[in-house]
Amino acid sequence: MTEVFSRMFFTWFLMSLGLWKLSEKMNWEKRWMAWIPGLRYYAFADSMDMRAEGMGCGVLEILYFLMSVTPFASEDPTKLVIAALISLAIIIALYVYRIRIFMRMILLFDLKRRWLICWLLAEWLTVLVLGFGRKYQPHPEVSFQAGWEAGMVPAQITGVSDAMNATTASRNGLSVLLRERTVRELGKKKYLLKDIAMNIPNGSLVLLLGGSGAGKTTFMNAVIGYEKADADIYLNGTNIYKQYSQMKYRIGFVTQTNLVRTHDTVYRTISDAAKLRMPLQVSAEERKKRVEEVMDLLGLTPVASGLVSKMSGGQLRRISIAIELVSDPDLFVLDEPDSGLDGVIARELFEKLKEIAETGKIVLVITHTPDRVIDLFDKVIVLAKDSGRVGRLAFYGSPDEAKEFFGRDSMEDIVQCVNRSEEGGEGLADDFIEKYARSRIGSTSAAQTGEEVSSDED
C-alpha cells in the first residue's frame, strides 16, 4: 500500500507541477487549482472552452483515485468481476476524456499528432515539457475552438435539403446524390460533406473548384467509391457503390504523384498497365491497338522507346494519364494533373484532357490554377465550407454561368468570395450555398410546370 501511495504521489506532484506551469501560459484565473485532484482537470479543460469534458474528467479522476486506495474486502467472485468491470469502465472513460482534452492542446500549441502517444504513455511528462519548455507557447490567435468543432454541426441553410431531394438521377452520365460524408473523431460524428447533388452529362470536362479544406479530394474519393459516403452515385445508370466490383474498372484515377515505373520504356510501361487493367477476354491484338491509340492521343508515340526516367515533368504526367486511360474508363478523375508544370505544358495537357472528354467520357479535374485553362472546361463544381465548416455545393454549371452567379470575373475570385474571412476570403459561403439551392428549386419547379402544360396540351 505504501508503494502505491508513493507512486500516486509522484505522478500527482509532477502532473500538478506541469499544470501549474502551463496555467501561467494559458492564463488560468485560479492557478492553485492545478494542485487539486479533480479540480485541476476541470480548470485545465475550462481554459480551452471544454468545461463539460473537464467536469467529466475531474469526476472520473476522483473515482479512480478512491478505487485505487480503497481495498475491496469481498471474496465473492461475482462481486470481484463487477468491481473489475467498473474499474475498467472508469479507466476507459477517463482515457477518452483525456484524449479529447489533449487533442485541443494539439491545436492550441500547434503540435504534431504523435504527441498523443507521449500523452497516453506518460501524461505527467508531456505536461512538464509543455509547461517548462520555452519554445512551446499557445497560439491564442488560432481559433482552436472552431478547429475542434469544425464539421460537428452543419449550418442550417434554407432550401439545401429541398434542392437535394428535388434532384433525380439521370440514366446517362454521372449522377451524384450525396447526402453526407462523415467520419468519427474520438467518438464524435464529424461532417466532411453534406447535401451535394448534380447530373454531369457524358462528354464533359469538369473543374472541381473550392478553397483549401472545402472537401474537393474527399468529394472525388466519394464519387469514385474509394471512400464511400452516404450517397447514390450512378455512372450511366449503374450504381457505382452497389456494383463496385464491376464499375471500378470503368473509372480511372490519376493522383497528384506520378506512380509510374522509371526503369522501363514508355511503351512497355503502358502496355503492362493494359495487361493489368483491361479484361482478360481482350485479345493481344486489341490490347496493342488500344495502347497505340492512347499513346497517339497523348502525344507519347515519339518517345515510346525512351526510358520513363528520362521523361520531362509534362511527359510523366501524360504517362500517368495513359496508364489509367488505357482501360477506356467512362469516368476519368485527376487530382492536380498540372502540378509543377509551366503554363504552356499545362495548357497542352488540358487540351489532351479536353480531347479525352470529347470522346464521350466525363473528365473531372482539380487544379489550383484554373483560370489559365478555364476556356477548355464545360462545367464547374464549386464546393465551399459553410459556417459549420462542412463542405457544401455552392454552384454547378458552366464557367460563364459561374461568373455571372457569383458576380466575379475569374475562378480565383470565386474561390476567394466563398472562403472564410480568416482564410483571406469574403466569408460569403452560406449566402451562395442558399442562393444556389433556391435557384435549383426554382428551376425544378419550372421544369415540372412545363411538363404539366405540355401534358395538358397533348
What tens digit of pLDDT does each residue of 20-66 get? 988 888 878 788 888 988 888 888 888 777 778 888 888 888 888 77
Residues 234 and 359 in one domain: yes
* Domain closes at, from 149, 183, 208: 149
**Count of structural domains within the chain:** 2
84, 214: one domain: no
Confidence check: pLDDT of 309 > 70: yes
Q: Which residue did the predictor score with more confidence, 458 or 226?
A: 226
Nearest Cα residue to 318 out of 254, 378, 373 = 254
Q: Mean of the pLDDT values across residues 189-208?
A: 94
Both 205 and 281 in one domain: the answer is yes
Examine the domain organization and report whether 362 and 389 are in the same domain: yes
Sign of the CA dihedral with 395 first, then 398, 403, and 407 last: negative
Selected residue with higher pLDDT from 363 and 277: 363
Q: State the average pLDDT over residues 425-454.
A: 74
Which of 58-72, 270-284, 394-408 is the most confident on average? 394-408
142 pLDDT tier (thresholds 50, 70, 90): very low
Mean pLDDT, range 250-267, rounded to an integer: 80
- Measured between alpha carbons, how far is residue 432 from residues 79, 82, 326, 429 in Å? 61, 56, 39, 5
pLDDT in tens, 90-124: 888 888 888 888 888 888 888 888 888 888 888 88
Same domain, 140 and 164: no
pLDDT value at 376 more than 50: yes
**Cross-sheet strand order for the sheet of 391-397:** 238-239, 230-235, 174-185, 188-200, 391-397, 379-385, 205-210, 362-366, 331-335, 251-254
Residue 246: pLDDT above 80?
A: yes
Report whether pLDDT(71) > 50. yes
Quick count: other Cβ atoms within 10 Å of Cβ 73?
Answer: 6
Q: pTM of the full predicted structure?
A: 0.68
Q: Nearest-CA neighbor of 377 among 340, 342, 414? A: 414
Residues 312 and 386 in one domain: yes
The answer on 188 and 136 residing in a single domain is no
pLDDT interval class at 191 (50, 70, 90): very high
Q: Is residue 155 within 8 Å of 384, Cβ to Cβ? A: no
112 burial type by CB count under 10 A (0-12 exposed, 13-18 middle, 19+ buried): exposed
Choosing from 149, 169, 203, the residue where a domain stops is: 149
My answer on whether 177 and 137 are in the same domain is no
Question: 16 pLDDT exceeds 50?
Answer: yes
273 and 410 in a common domain: yes
Q: Quick one: 328 and 398 in the same domain?
A: yes
Predicted pLDDT at 242 = 93
Percent of the chain with pLDDT over 90: 30
Domain that holds residue 323: 160-457
Closest to 37 in 3D by CA, of 9, 62, 11: 62
Euclidean distance between CA atoms 41 and 54, whole angstroms:
5
Selection from 41, 239, 223 nearest residue 124 by Cα: 41
CB atoms within 10 A of CB 231: 20
**Residues 431, 311 within the same domain:** yes
Report pLDDT for 3: 66
Contact 297, 243 (CB under 8 A): no
- Per-residue exposure over 418-431, b if at least 16 CB sit within 10 Å of its own CB, e if not: bbbeeeebeebbbe
| 154 domain residue, yes or no | no
| Residue position matching grid coordinates 464519387 | 223
- How sure is the predictor about 69, in pLDDT bands with cuts at 50, 70 and 90? low
- Percentage of the chain modeled with pLDDT above 70: 90
Question: CATH number for the domain including 247?
Answer: 3.40.50.300
Q: Does residue 432 belong to any structural domain of this protein?
A: yes
